[in-house]
Chain A
Amino acid sequence: MSELDPSILTLVTFAPAAGALLLMFAPRRDREIRVFALLVSLFTFVLSLHLPAHFHRNQTGFQFERDIPWIPTPNIHYHMGMDGISLWLVVLTTFLTPLCVLISWKSIHDRVKEFFILLLVLEAALIGVFVSLDLFLFYFFWESTLIPMALLIGMFGHGRKVYAAIKFFLYTMIASVFMLAGILWLYANTSPHTFDFVKIQAAIHSGTVPGFAAAAQWLFLGFFVAFAVKVPLFPFHTWLPDAHVEAPTAGSVLLAGVLLKMGTYGLLRFNLGLFPDQARANASWIVVLALIGIVYGALVAMVQPNMKKLIAYSSISHLGFVVLGIFSFTQAGLNGAMFIMLAHGVSTGGLFMLAGILYERRHTYEISEFGGLATPMPVYSTFFLFVMLASVGLPLLNGFIGEFLVLTGAFQAKPWWGVVAATGVIWSACYLLWMYQRVFFGVVKHEENNSLPDLNLRERVALWPAMIMALAMGVVPMLWLNSIDPAVRNALAKMVGQ
C-alpha cells in the first residue's frame, strides 16, 4: 500500500480538469497554452503510471478505492475504484492525450485556448467514466464526455462539422437516457437505496431486489442500447463515420481510441456484471449483430474513397470483434476483447494521427488525391506501414493477439461464429493494404504531392510512442494480460455462479 493509493484515482481524474480550469484564466498566448496543455497531459500520464505499478494483480475486487458520501438523499457516493478491466483503459486515455496535444500543435491555430480546454476536460471525463463505481457518478461522467467531444467536432472540425456534431450528440444522448431510466429503477428498488455498483451487484446476485425478475430484460436493454450506440454496434453505427470524418485529428484519436471503449467497457461491466442471465439469454442476437458489424464494417471500408472514413468503418469492424469476445463468455474471448480495446486504441489512434498529418499538408482525405507518396515521404510511409500492419493484425504486433484470442473464444462458444469472424481478419488486410497501395505505391499522380514535406520532429515524437506500444503489446502481451486475466476470470465466475 502506498500513501497515494486512496486518492490516486481522484488525482488522475481531476488533474486534467484542474489544468483546464487554469487555462480558462490564462491569457491568449497560443504557444504557452500548447506547452501548458502538453505538460498537464504528461503529468497526468506520469501520475497514472502509479496505477499499474501498485496494482495487485491477483487480488479480486476493486483497488485504489475511495468511497465517501457526496449527497445524502438520494444516496449518492463519490465511489471510485478500479480492477484489471478498467486499469489499462485509464492508462490508454492518459497515454493518448499527450499525443493528441502534440498532433494538434500546428493544425489548431484558431481558438487554441478553447481547443485545449475542451481536450483536457474530455480527458478528465473519460477517466472518470472508467473509475466510477457509483452509478450516478458513472452517468455523470458519461454525459460529461458529450459536450467537449461535440464541441471539438463542431468548432474545430471541417466540412459538415455542425451536422456531425449534432448527430453525435443526439444519438448518444437519446440512447443514454434509457440507461438513466434503468439506473433510477435500480436505485428505487434496492433497500437501502443505493447507486453503488458493488452493492447493487451483490443485491441482484443474492436475489434481494423485488421485482427484478420481471424488469431485468428491460433493464438489460436500457443499458444495452446506451452502450451499443457508443460502441457502435450495427445498426446503431451511422453517427460514427460522420463524426470521424469531420472531427479534428485529436478528436478522432480520442473518439476511436477511448470514447468507443466506453461502450464496450459498459457492456462488460454493467450488462454482464449486473444482468448475467439476461446477457446469456440475449447473447445469440447480439453476437449476430457483432458479426454483421465485423463483415459489414469491413466491406464498407473497402469501398470508401475517403481515408478517414475508411479508418472509421474499420473501427466498426474491430469493435465488432470486441462485442463478439464479450458475448462469447469464454476466458479467451473476454481477454481478447479487453486486449483489442487497448490495441485498437493505440493502432487506430496512430492511423488517425497519420491521416491527420496528411490532411495538414493537402487538406483532403480523398485517397484518389494521392498515390506514389512513398517517393516524396519515405519516413511517413514507413510509419504508416508499421501502424497499418498493427491494425491488420500481423503477428508480433498488437492487433494479432486480441483477434486471435477472440477467435479462439468464439470457436469455443460456437464454431460458426469463429468462422464468420475470421473472414473479418482477411477483409481488414484487404482494405488496409489496398488503401496503402493506392496512397503510397506507383508514380506520383498529382504534381503538388511531389513537394510534400516528410515528417518533422514533432510529428515523429507524437508517433513513436504509439508505434513502440504497438510492438510491445504484440511481443509481450502478458504484461497487460497479467492483470486483465484475473479480473475477467472474476467477472466470469460471477456469471457461472448464478
Chain B
Amino acid sequence: MPALMMAALRTMPNLIPNSDYIRILPEIVLSVFGMIIMVLDPVMDERRSQRTLGVIALLGALAALAATLYQAKEQFWGLGFWGMVRVDPFSIFFHVVVIAVTIVVILSSYEYMEVQKIRAGEYYGLILFGAVGMALMSSAVELVLIFIALEISSIATYVLAGFRRRAATSSEASVKYFLLGSFATAFFLYGVAMMFGATGSTSIATIGASLGLFNGSGGPLLAYLGVALMFVGLGFKVAAAPFHIWTPDVYEGAPSPVVGFMSTAPKAAVFAVLLRIMFQAHAPGRVWLMWVAAALSMSIGNIAALVQDNVKRLLAYSSIAHAGYVLVAFASLPANGIPAAMFYTASYAAMNVGAFAVIGHFAGRDERFVTLEDYSGLGRRSPLLASVLTIFLLSLIGIPITGGFFAKFYVFSAAMQGPHPLVGLTVIGVVNSAIAAYYYLRIIVFMYMREPRDDAPVPRVGPGLGIALTISLAATIYLGVAPKCVLDYITRAATFLH
C-alpha cells in the first residue's frame, strides 16, 4: 500500500468528519441504488422487472445529480478522506457530465431493451456502478484510488458490452474489450509504480510539487517512464491512437446505448484523470507525447472512417478522431488547454450519446439496420428522427450553431496561444476536421438524397427516448449558441488545476 495511505492510517483520527461523506455523496447514492437494483432483480417477475428497475435506476441517477449539485456548495470544496478525493468545480463539472450521460443512457435504454427483448435488470445496476467509478475518477486525486475507480468503471463496461447475448459480435466485443482493457490498466498500474519511485508519492498534488520544479522538461527518467506507461492505460480507455485498435470491433458489437455510454462518460472521466496527471502533476514530456498522440488519433481515426459502411464502426473511428482533438488541447498551455479540453469533452458527450440513441432506436431487433444502405431515405421515412441525427452529425463535423463547432474552435485556438503556438498540430487538426466532414456527410446523404430501400415503418419514438434525445439535442445546441455560462464555470474550474 502506498506510503501516503499508510501514513494516513497511522495518524488516522477515530472519526471521519461528516463533510467527507458529503464529498463522496454522489458515489454513495449511485452505489446504493445500484445495490437496490441488484437485490430486487432476482426477486421480481422477470417479465416486468425491466421497467421497474429502469425507473429505479433513473431515480438513482437523478438523486446523484441532486447530490452533486448539493456538493457544489463552496463549503464542501476541498480534500476528503486523507487527501484522496477532492471536491472542487473541476470535479463537479465532470460529475455533472458523467451523471447527465448516465441519465440519457438509462432513458434511451428503456425502449431499446424492450425491442431487443433483453430481460435483465442488472443492466441498469451495471450502468450505475459504472457511473460510480467514473464519478470517483473525476474527484480522486490519488493515483491508487484513481486506479480503483478506473477498474470499477471498466468492469461494468466490460460486462455491458456483452449484453446482446444472442449476437456473437457482442460477446466478441466483451471479451476483446476485457482482455485488452485489463492489459491496459496493468500498464497504468505499472506507470503509477514508476511515478511513486520517481517522486515518493502517489498523491497528485505531491507529485506535482516535486515535478513542478523541473518545469515540464528534464526530471528523473522514471517520471518520464511513469507518464508514458500511465498514458498507455489511459490512452486505451479514451481510444487514442496508437491504443485504439479495439474500438471499432467493440463499438460494432456492443449494444448501441452502451456504446453511447462508453464512448462518452468513461472518456470524460478518463480525460479528467489525464488532465490531473498532465497538468496538475506537471507531467514531464507532456507537450510532445500529446502532440504525437493527437496527430495520430486525428489522422488514423478520420482516414479509417472514410471507408466504413457500418454506421457504428464509422462512429467508432470518429470517436478515435475526437479523442485526438481533445488531446490537441492537452498539448496546449494549461490556461487555455484545460478549459478547451473540458468543453470539448462535454459537447462531445452531448452529441455522441444522442447520435447513438438514434442509432440504437433505428437499428431495430437484433440491431439489423446499422449499415449506411439501411439509412437510405430515412429523411422521408422518419423526418423527425433523421433531422435530429443530422444535427448531431453536423455537430460532430463542427458546423456552427452546435456545440461541436465551438468545441473545435476552442481547442484549436488554445493550441495557437502562447510563445510557442502549435501551428503544425493546428493545421493537421483543421485539415482533419475538413476530411471528417466527408464521412459524416455520407450518412446525411444516404438519409436525404437516396430513395428508401424499403418502406418498413420506423418504430415510433417512445417517451423515454424522446426525453433522452431532447436533453442531448438541447445540450448540443445550447453549447453552440450560448456557451458563456458553461465557459465561465469551466474557466474557473480549470484554475483549480494549475
Contact = CB atoms under 8 A, between A and B. Distances in A.
A426 interface: no
Contacts of A165: 445, 449
Contact of B487 (A71, A144, A150, A181): A71
A185 B437 contact: no
A177 B434 contact: yes
A242 to B, nearest CB: 15
Given A154-B445, A174-B434, A180 B412 contact: yes
A136 interface: yes
A169 interface: yes
A377 interface: no
A73 interface: yes
A192 interface: no
B221 interface: no
Interface in B407-450: 409-410, 412-413, 415-418, 421, 423, 426-427, 430-431, 433-435, 437-438, 441, 444-445, 448-450
The secondary-structure label for the interface of chain B is helix
A150 B394 CA distance: 12
B400 A140 contact: yes
Contacts of A173: 434, 437
A187 interface: yes
A150 B441 CA distance: 10
Interface in B445-498: 445, 448-450, 483-484, 487-488, 491
A132 to B, nearest CB: 12
A281 B409 CA distance: 31
B483 A185 contact: no
B289 interface: no
Nearest to A24: B387
A216 to B, nearest CB: 14
B438 A73 contact: no
A144 B400 CA distance: 6
Interface residues of B, number: 37
Given A147-B394, A184-B413, A188-B416, A162 B433 contact: no
A88 to B, nearest CB: 25
Contacts of B430: 177-178, 180-181
Nearest to B431: A177
B445 A188 contact: no
B339 interface: yes
Contacts of B487: 71-73
A415 interface: no
B405 interface: yes
Nearest to B415: A184
A173 B348 CA distance: 21
A358 to B, nearest CB: 25
Contacts of B28: none
A244 interface: no
A74 B231 CA distance: 29
Given A144-B399, A185-B421, A188-B421, A73 B491 contact: yes
A72 B488 contact: yes
Contacts of B410: 74
Interface in A60-85: 70-74
A151 interface: yes
Nearest to B398: A143
Nearest to B414: A74
A161 interface: yes
A71 B437 CA distance: 26
17 contacts: A71-B484, A72-B491, A73-B487, A74-B409, A140-B405, A151-B444, A165-B445, A173-B434, A174-B434, A177-B431, A180-B409, A181-B426, A185-B416, A185-B423, A187-B416, A188-B413, A188-B421
Top 7 A-B pairs ranked by shortest CB distance?
Answer: A177-B430, A188-B416, A174-B434, A184-B416, A140-B400, A154-B449, A144-B400
